[in-house]
Amino acid sequence: MSAAARDPPLAQEDLLLAAAYVYDAQYNRNIPFETSPQAVRLYYLYNHWTMQAATYFFIFVDLFLAVFEDPAVYPFPFLATSLVEVLCLLVFFSRLVHFAKVTPRNVFWKDTKNICIMIAILVTLIDLIIYGALKISNINSIRWSRFLRPIFLINFAESRQIRRVFRSIRNTLPEITYVFLLFMFSVLMFSLMALKLFGDRNLRTVEGSPYFTNYLEIVFDLYVLVTTANSPDVMMPAFDFSWWYSLFFITYVVINTYLFMSVFLAVVYNNYRKHLKNEIRKLAYMKRHKMIEAFNILKVKEGTEYVVQEAQWKELVKLVAPDISTSHRELLLRVSDEEQKGYVDKKSFVRLADLLNIQVIAMRIQTHPLEHWMPHVYNSAVSLFIRSMVQHKGFVWTYDVIILINAVFIALDEENPLISYAEWVFLSLYILEILLKVYTYEPRAFFAKTQFWNWFDTSIIIAALIATILNASLKSASQYNSQQVLDIVFILRVLRLIRIVDSIQRFRVIMNTLINIVPTMLTFGGLALVVYYMFAIIGMELFQGKIQFFPRNSTAHHALECGNPALKDSLFARAKYCKNNFNDITSSFVVLMELTVVNQWHVLANGFALVTHQAAKLYFIAFHIVVVIMIINILIAFILEAFFVEYSLEKSEVETAIERKIQELGVGIQEEELRDGKLIDNMETSENDLGGEEITKKKSKGLMFKIASKRYRTVDALLQRMFEAEILPEDDGPSVEEILNLSPTDLYPKNPTFDSAA
Amino acid sequence: MSAAARDPPLAQEDLLLAAAYVYDAQYNRNIPFETSPQAVRLYYLYNHWTMQAATYFFIFVDLFLAVFEDPAVYPFPFLATSLVEVLCLLVFFSRLVHFAKVTPRNVFWKDTKNICIMIAILVTLIDLIIYGALKISNINSIRWSRFLRPIFLINFAESRQIRRVFRSIRNTLPEITYVFLLFMFSVLMFSLMALKLFGDRNLRTVEGSPYFTNYLEIVFDLYVLVTTANSPDVMMPAFDFSWWYSLFFITYVVINTYLFMSVFLAVVYNNYRKHLKNEIRKLAYMKRHKMIEAFNILKVKEGTEYVVQEAQWKELVKLVAPDISTSHRELLLRVSDEEQKGYVDKKSFVRLADLLNIQVIAMRIQTHPLEHWMPHVYNSAVSLFIRSMVQHKGFVWTYDVIILINAVFIALDEENPLISYAEWVFLSLYILEILLKVYTYEPRAFFAKTQFWNWFDTSIIIAALIATILNASLKSASQYNSQQVLDIVFILRVLRLIRIVDSIQRFRVIMNTLINIVPTMLTFGGLALVVYYMFAIIGMELFQGKIQFFPRNSTAHHALECGNPALKDSLFARAKYCKNNFNDITSSFVVLMELTVVNQWHVLANGFALVTHQAAKLYFIAFHIVVVIMIINILIAFILEAFFVEYSLEKSEVETAIERKIQELGVGIQEEELRDGKLIDNMETSENDLGGEEITKKKSKGLMFKIASKRYRTVDALLQRMFEAEILPEDDGPSVEEILNLSPTDLYPKNPTFDSAA
């Protein structure tokens, strides 16, 4: 149990291992102390999805408090926010206590994650008390512990992915630091050269200030040039003076922007790959280890080898996956016990977690409900004609043309009543399309989990219908459009057009790769949230209230200088950036986003430096280093890796085995089934030709099996399979201690292919 | 000979094959018609470095003509430039004729490269005649064939690398086109949404013009936003209106800037890797094929196997590499004929090209010249003390401190006479350092080819000395500093400081990787030159003279509007971008560089659109697509790949064999040699600990061998070795036809490791 508790995800192998203990316990065989049925039930409860969802809910409530705390978007009294915060802390604490219950004591206390959470809870409580006490005595202090809130997001066991990225960043730091120092050395050298070359020329910038005379300012200007934000302005005075000086800046940009920034990407990417590979290897070995542990609990001697009896195997699967059908379980058994010997050997048992992970969809060959209720009407000549029409390629093309015409109408003027009537026509056409499709195809198949585009279409159309009706009724009631509803109507109308992408096969392939990246992007979103949140909290403490936004026609004092005379004649005020401030958390996030995009960040940095102190620039430089040099490069590494894994995607061994078995069992398919099969094939053309997908069917007591699309897999799962394909089935892998201490440079097992590939 | 002529580089295997024919011819054995000694000599001549250098020289002269042609930096009469151009064309033509002589006719005419060159020559001549004729009749026309000049750079056989990049681009095009279309679809959809959301709001931009009311302008603005050049300005009016609208722009940037731009990189990089791998595989097989062909010419039967006799082998090596020493040749023979049987078998013969490629430096253990001339003085107590002092670590540290102090002095004011005297002190200190080092270490070893930093230091110091003396004498003669000389002095002074990087081991490693990238970067430079040149020629025809630059205090009409009233109140004029014009080739290159850096490119595009036509924006968008989306991504792919190859660098098999042999032969090194060895080790500490390098020595008749540093290798060579290590020595590879038609998806031989690695 100790290994399972160390890093508790809801993985199949953990459940299997736990279930093996439960099963074992029920039959009163050798029960170790710490795996009493009660402990296992607690463990199950800990891993239940409701508990995990609740934890996430409170983590986000805690983070979201910043919206209501001073400086607030919607100000709430301190008492309210602090009570909610205490509630969150209580939830975190009880979650931690629960975790301690299902974990051996020494493992729990060795884990830095738990220590981190405890310290964060304690520190937050202390800060709350101090701040509250000072507030009562009317002294304003800083709620500095808000800075620590993302710690809960990182350190709860569920955020394994985000933690891995942070580990990867930590591992990359030494190497990136040396490259960064070399890069800074280069910037400093070029600045020195610039000072000597241009300092005595009496040149002036566009604003009329002296050009390149102060060393520190030159360093800042050239650092900004690395980010390209002040190109070509920073070059123009020198370039105007002499053509030759442009060579200085071109050399600078080539070395520092192109060369060094690419080197940063290379270093980050290389480390990301190296550590990802190592983590995947650990996971794969850990899985194998747990499966062998489960096998050892259940094994009985059969002839010369140890095996798991069929009855026990079935009990186990029922415990772990109570909602899969009997026939699905039969299928899995047939795959695990190919020769139908009545037991499962070690090699097949170890694959069980993977088998359970494969989404084998058991589909009943269902007749259309209408055919069931009124077969006469549904199979009439008219109905058959409609159905064949809908299945025809021309149907798709017709609707593509309709979408294009719709696009033109959207671009035209809204005020013309004819055009606003046309909108109703298009909406009805789209609704008609969905109704026809549902009429033709089996509705349960049409709205199957994997039918992404059907779901997308239908929800967009329904939302558009509701919004349009709402808008129309508001208009007739109050004679004017509700702006919010209208905005939503506009967006939905345009989103409807996206569907045209799905009709062109090449686009579909790219779209599927992009959709595949989404889970990885969510991890990245978590990472970005943590960093943004911390910088936003600091930014608000540093800059809140320094810059004010006034509406266009405001007559307030210094309205044009964002309410701060220090900004008079600054680029910041002239570009009307007043709304880019740190006066609440939403504005802070927008400003940080702008800083991430990099362009004009020096204008923002200079603006905030003017209203506070020149040292404020350090905040912006720090943000640039952390976010643009580290985080964005990790994002690019994410996407590159996801793409390359997609490209080198091969069917995994386990999957092939189950497919083969489905095919084997399905020998002798009837003519009539083929027709049904064709129907489903036709309906799913959008998936069929995606290369990575397989649809296989098997009639067995009216059931068809189909391996769910590979679309929604994560890069991790793919990499893990690539690696597992290389561990020999007989290989038991290293011990738990060895697994946990694996480093990227260890070659265990000697595995050149995987190492060079990932 | 046909295979060798197809793609004639100066590779060892080609020379070996040709030499085998020559050798064969000398001994009057079976000579095929087309490989008469004369043909071979012509082939040698064709591949001689002077011929290649001459070709390159004229290619660059041809390209350089743009500096003197109208619109010129230095105007020359049309007659002069056209005569030079005709001369270049003549050279190109004769080079082509020469190539035709050494190539079988059918191969020559099948090669599109040759057809391209011929057409380009013909078209240029026609254009020259038409332009000249029109000029005589005083009609100004366009010299449109100048656009074709880079064709010569690409298509001459020598530019294999650049051609490969172009092939790679061509192969990537279909895939990138689909991604690009999807990306444009996304931009168009977002623009439609923006039109509906913001078009009716009566918002105004900072300049006071209507905000987001014209669909085409929105598309352009949002395209610019993808490049981040107008962020956050394009968002500010909507953001000022409502906080929620910032979500529109954030979503847009995340999808189109981060996601799509990363996907472009992924597609380009993936294709680059795939095709690079395929080309490398072709090269490796072709090399093997040629070596087997050479072997078959020279082979004689010895017992049961065919071999090459030692005498013939030696003759061959002498022919191919006339300048390597006898002892080096002996060493190679000992590696090739390990058991000293008097002949070389096929397996060893095939490796000969690689053996010759390894730079084995034969070093005589030389005594210091001073020791030779005056041993008494050189070995006196004072001299020994100086020598041990220089070899001491403290010597390096002392000079690091001096460099740091020097840096501070450079930053200080130049006018102070004390400081300008200090410059002389530093200069003498640096000269003293070099003298001391040359005194202590053997001068020929100190200035060996691989001693990059020694060469760098010495040349910088000597140049600085000359420039400083020149400056001082000019100053005393004419009482003022010559600005040009002073600029050079400044630059040299700062460059001197770079040396400090070499004293810190971590920096040295990174620097060496960067230096390794240089050859690859040169290929990239060639590619950039081709694209820039074509765009510059088009840009000059479109925009020359439309925008004028006037010095700061000019009183010319419309000086503030760059001489063009259309630019009144434009951002272009306000930012003082007048010097960013297409009035000559150098200005064009600077503008194109600014467009590559991307920032403010929309200001440039809008400026040129104002003085010509809105359609001019298409030129800038085309440049962005070609250069930033394609070329820059290829550059990043270059650098990433170079880094990853560096990371996975392993010693190749051949190299290890020769090293082992050197070591074997060097058994029994004397105490005294060890000291000498240590001396060289010490002197070369800057190389010793670089991981990828090996210094091995062997005393044999006063000679030491040393495998040259791996520093200066290209990515290609490394990849080729990685691949070759996987071809079995017995494998003869596919036939020439098969080799030439290999596609990236062919698995020949089934070679998963290399495929997944590269």
Q: What is the DSSP string of A483-498?
A: HHHHHHHHHHHHHHHG
User: Is residue B556 packed enough to be buried (19+ CB in 10 Å), middle (13-18) or exposed (0-12)?
Assistant: exposed
Highest mean pLDDT of the ranges A65-79, A311-325, B589-603: B589-603
Residue of chain A with shortest Cα separation from B265: A640
Q: Are B20 and B294 in contact (CB under 8 A)?
A: yes
Average pLDDT over residues B673-677: 38
User: In terms of residues, how long is chain A?
Assistant: 758
CB spacing of B647 vs A270 below 8 angstroms: yes
Q: Are A265 and A747 in contact (CB under 8 A)?
A: no
- Single-letter amino acid code for the residue at A158: E
Instruction: Give how far the C-alpha of residue B348 lies from the chain's centroid of Cα atoms, to the nearest Å.
Output: 33
Mutate to test the interface with B, among A177, A243, A262 (most CBs of B within 10 A): A262
Cβ neighbors of A476 (< 8 A, separation 6 or more) are none
Copy the structure tokens of residue A354.
């993977």
Copy the structure tokens of residue A621.
């430089």
Q: Which of A197, A250, A597 sits opposite B228 (nearest CB)?
A: A597
Residue of chain A with shortest Cα separation from B485: A197
Q: Are A4 and A155 in contact (CB under 8 A)?
A: no
Q: Looking at beta carbons, which residues of chain B come within 8 Å of A510? A: 178-179, 182, 263
Residue of B289, B281, B299, B296 lying closest to B353 (CA atoms): B289
Residue of chain A with shortest Cα separation from B273: A644
% of chain B with per-residue pLDDT over 70: 79
Q: What's the rounded Cα separation, in Å, for the pair A58 and A152?
A: 10
Q: Looking at beta carbons, which residues of chain A come within 8 Å of B215? A: 411
Look at A380-384, A746-750, B356-360, B414-418 and tell me which has the smallest mean pLDDT. A746-750
pLDDT for position A706: 59
Residue of chain B with shortest Cα separation from A498: B189
Q: Please list, residue by residue across B370-405, b when 16 or more beta carbons sit within 10 angstroms of its beta carbon and e when fewer do.
A: beeeeeeebeeeebeeebeebbeeebeeebeebbee
pLDDT in tens, B504-523: 878 887 887 787 777 778 88
B-proximal residues of A, 713-752, CB under 8 Å: 752
Does residue B500 or residue B252 have the better pLDDT?
A: B252
Q: Are A662 and A734 in contact (CB under 8 A)?
A: no
pLDDT for position A117: 92
Q: Are B278 and B744 in contact (CB under 8 A)?
A: yes
* The model's pTM: 0.84
Residue of A82, A87, A78 lying closest to A58 (CA atoms): A87
pLDDT for position A468: 84
CB spacing of B197 vs A229 below 8 angstroms: no
pLDDT for position A664: 66
B-proximal residues of A, 535-554, CB under 8 Å: 549, 551-552
pLDDT for position B665: 62
CB spacing of A490 vs B246 below 8 angstroms: no
pLDDT for position B716: 67
Handedness of CA B284, B286, B289, B295 (dihedral sign): negative
Q: Are B483 and A241 in contact (CB under 8 A)?
A: no
Residue of chain B with shortest Cα separation from A246: B590
Q: Looking at beta carbons, which residues of chain B come within 8 Å of A262? A: 635-636, 639-640
| DSSP structure string for A317-355 | HHHH-TTS-HHHHHHHHHHHSTT--SEEEHHHHHTHHHH
For residue A415, is pLDDT > 70?
no
Q: What's the rounded Cα separation, in Å, for the pair B439 and B389?
A: 12
Three-state DSSP at B432 gives helix
CB spacing of A752 vs B753 below 8 angstroms: yes
Q: Looking at beta carbons, which residues of chain A come within 8 Å of B246? A: 590, 593
C-alpha distances (whole Å) from A58 to each of A118, A280, B273, B480 are 16, 30, 46, 74
Cβ neighbors of A708 (< 8 A, separation 6 or more) are A358, A359, A360, A361, A449, A450
Cβ of residue B656 closer than 8 Å to a chain A Cβ: no
Residue of B4, B536, B51, B527 lying closest to B283 (CA atoms): B4
The band of A381, judged by pLDDT with boundaries at 50, 70 and 90, is confident
Cβ of residue B647 closer than 8 Å to a chain A Cβ: yes
CB spacing of B493 vs A586 below 8 angstroms: no
Q: Looking at beta carbons, which residues of chain B come within 8 Å of A640? A: 262, 265-266, 269
Residue of chain A with shortest Cα separation from B752: A753
A-proximal residues of B, 557-586, CB under 8 Å: 574-577, 579-580, 586
Cβ of residue B31 closer than 8 Å to a chain A Cβ: no
Give the strand pairing for A703-707 and B300-302.
unpaired
B-proximal residues of A, 108-137, CB under 8 Å: none
Q: Are A683 and A363 in contact (CB under 8 A)?
A: no
pLDDT for position B373: 82
CB spacing of B250 vs A590 below 8 angstroms: yes
Mutate to test the interface with A, among B596, B646, B747 (most CBs of A within 10 A): B596
B-proximal residues of A, 401-420, CB under 8 Å: 407, 410-411, 414
Copy the structure tokens of residue A510.
């790219």
Highest mean pLDDT of the ranges A31-45, A495-509, B30-44, B667-681: A495-509
Average pLDDT over residues B583-612: 92
| DSSP structure string for A609-672 | HHHS-GGGHHHHHHHIIIIIIIIHHHHHHHHHHHHHHHHT----HHHHHHHHHHHHHT-S--HH
How open is the CA angle B149-B154-B156, to the nearest 5 degrees? 100
Three-state DSSP at A309 gives strand
Copy the structure tokens of residue A716.
């991790």
Q: Looking at beta carbons, which residues of chain B come within 8 Å of A517? A: 259
The band of A34, judged by pLDDT with boundaries at 50, 70 and 90, is very low
Residue of A281, A280, A321, A312 lying closest to A294 (CA atoms): A312
CB spacing of B253 vs A597 below 8 angstroms: yes
Instruction: Give how far the C-alpha of residue B308 lies from the chain's centroid of Cα atoms, to the nearest Å.
Output: 39
pLDDT for position A309: 83
CB spacing of A206 vs B575 below 8 angstroms: yes
Highest mean pLDDT of the ranges A560-569, B39-48, B695-704, B738-747: A560-569
Beta strands in B170-329 (DSSP E): 300-302, 305-309
Put residue B562 in one of left, alpha, beta given phi > 0 → left and psi -120 to 50 → alpha.
left
Mutate to test the interface with A, among B172, B192, B222 (most CBs of A within 10 A): B192
CB spacing of A232 vs B580 below 8 angstroms: yes
Q: What's the rounded Cα separation, in Å, for the pair A536 and A590?
A: 10
CB spacing of A266 vs B599 below 8 angstroms: no
Distance from CA of B265 to the nearest CA of A (A): 8
Q: Looking at beta carbons, which residues of chain A come within 8 Å of B492? A: none
Q: Looking at beta carbons, which residues of chain B come within 8 Å of A635? A: 258, 262
Cβ neighbors of B30 (< 8 A, separation 6 or more) are B24
Copy the structure tokens of residue B459.
């040349």
Q: What's the rounded Cα separation, in Å, for the pair A702 and A699?
A: 6
Cis peptide before A749 (omega within 30 of 0): yes
CB spacing of A192 vs B230 below 8 angstroms: no
Q: What's the rounded Cα separation, in Å, for the pair A133 and A116?
A: 26
- Single-letter amino acid code for the residue at B714: T
For residue A2, is pLDDT > 70?
no
User: In terms of residues, how long is chain B?
Assistant: 758
Look at A230-239, A697-706, B173-182, B220-229 and tell me which has the smallest mean pLDDT. A697-706
Residue of A357, A342, A335, A338 lying closest to A291 (CA atoms): A357
Cβ of residue B506 closer than 8 Å to a chain A Cβ: yes
Q: What's the rounded Cα separation, in Å, for the pair A209 and A203?
A: 9
Q: What average pLDDT does the structure give for chain A?
A: 79
pLDDT in tens, A672-691: 333 343 334 333 333 333 33
The band of A103, judged by pLDDT with boundaries at 50, 70 and 90, is confident
H helix intervals, B416-451? 417-440, 443-446
Residue of chain B with shortest Cα separation from A233: B575
In angstroms, what is the C-alpha Rg of chain B?
31
For residue B315, is pLDDT > 50?
yes
At residue A344, φ and ψ (nearest 5 deg) are: -115, 130
Q: Please list, residue by residue across A661-672, b when 16 or more beta carbons sit within 10 angstroms of its beta carbon and e when fewer do.
A: bbeebbeeeeee
For residue A585, is pLDDT > 60?
yes
Cβ of residue A189 closer than 8 Å to a chain B Cβ: yes
Cβ neighbors of A629 (< 8 A, separation 6 or more) are A176, A180, A261, A264
Cβ neighbors of B391 (< 8 A, separation 6 or more) are B440, B679, B682
Copy the structure tokens of residue B169.
């681009």
A-proximal residues of B, 611-640, CB under 8 Å: 632, 635-636, 639-640
Q: What average pLDDT does the structure give for chain B?
A: 79
In angstroms, what is the C-alpha Rg of chain A?
31
Three-state DSSP at B364 gives strand
Q: Which of A250, A600, A639 sits opposite B232 (nearest CB)?
A: A600
**How many cross-chain Cβ pairs, A to B, lie less than 8 Å apart?**
218
pLDDT for position B4: 34
Distance from CA of B507 to the nearest CA of A (A): 7
pLDDT for position B9: 42
pLDDT in tens, B168-215: 888 888 889 999 999 999 999 999 999 888 888 888 888 888 898 888
- State the complex-level ipTM: 0.85
Q: Are A658 and A355 in contact (CB under 8 A)?
A: yes
Mutate to test the interface with A, among B225, B600, B628 (most CBs of A within 10 A): B600
Look at A550-559, B247-256, B718-727 and tell me which has the smallest mean pLDDT. B718-727
pLDDT for position A123: 94
For residue A750, is pLDDT > 50?
no
pLDDT in tens, A273-332: 888 788 778 878 888 888 888 888 778 888 888 888 888 888 788 777 777 777 778 878
Q: What's the rounded Cα separation, in Å, for the pair B388 and A296?
A: 68
Q: How far separated are the first and last CA of chain B, in Å rounded?
A: 31
